[in-house]
Amino acid sequence: MTPEEFNTKSGVSRETQERLRLYADLLVKWQARINLVGPDTLPDLWSRHFLDSAQLLPLIPASARRVVDLGSGAGFPGLVLAVMGAPDVHLVESDSRKCAFLREVARVTATPVTLHNKRIEQVPGLGADVVTARALAPLAKLLDWAEPHLAPGGCCLFLKGRGAEDELTATAKEWNITPRRVSSVTDPAGLVLQIEEVRRGRAEP
């Protein structure tokens, strides 16, 4: 996917296009020094990383005031969402070198974000209306990590690959959730799990 195709699919403004272009340039530059994304994904970074992240924006409720992205890595999906205008984005990432990259992208693109260079388990509850994550952990672990950061009525948006249904089955003993499954726009086998009402307890049979 070219940047122009990304722009058409995502419908972002010219100004946001320019800021995302700066982000992509930094990603390519820094990738030569530190492993930010899988090297085989770089040739298709506009689809694999930018569009994959951007597809969450329409799923964020209009009333949301804070978004928390867990295990942000190089900023997918959290920093892309922040560049695109998601409100009060917090990025939680334990790797200091990746945090240096996130800080630099935020500076160059003039994107306000709050960076937590810590392990998720060490960050006090952030009161998120939306918690996002991609490629971080199996669903049961994600729910463990997300729950303390959710404000009342908050929801989760998790990007998942082909194993999503197995992961959902594995959560049924511990979590009572009814996710909405949204087909991924970038991965025919992928899903966005939109989970409202994150409750502990065995799911109803």
Ligand X SMILES: C[S@@+](CC[C@H](N)C(=O)[O-])C[C@H]1O[C@@H](n2cnc3c(N)ncnc32)[C@H](O)[C@@H]1O
- Residue ranges binding ligand X (CB under 6 A): 37, 71-74, 76, 92-95, 98, 119-121, 134-136
Nearest approach, Cβ of residue 44 and ligand X (Å)? 14
121 is in an annotated binding site: yes
Report the relative pairing of strands 180-183 and 128-134 from DSSP bridges.
unpaired
Separation between Cα atoms, residue 181 and residue 190, nearest integer Å: 10
Nearer to ligand X, 12 or 56 (CB): 56
- Decide: helix, strand or coil at residue 191: strand
Locate tokens 């949204």: which residue? 182
Nearest approach, Cβ of residue 85 and ligand X (Å)? 20
76 is in an annotated binding site: yes
120 is in an annotated binding site: yes
Separation between Cα atoms, residue 147 and residue 139, nearest integer Å: 12
Report the relative pairing of strands 191-196 and 180-183 from DSSP bridges.
antiparallel
Nearer to ligand X, 95 or 174 (CB): 95
174 is in an annotated binding site: no
Nearest approach, Cβ of residue 205 and ligand X (Å)? 32
Separation between Cα atoms, residue 140 and residue 167, nearest integer Å: 7
Nearest approach, Cβ of residue 53 and ligand X (Å)? 8
In the annotated binding site for S-adenosyl-L-methionine, the residues are: 71, 76, 120-121, 134
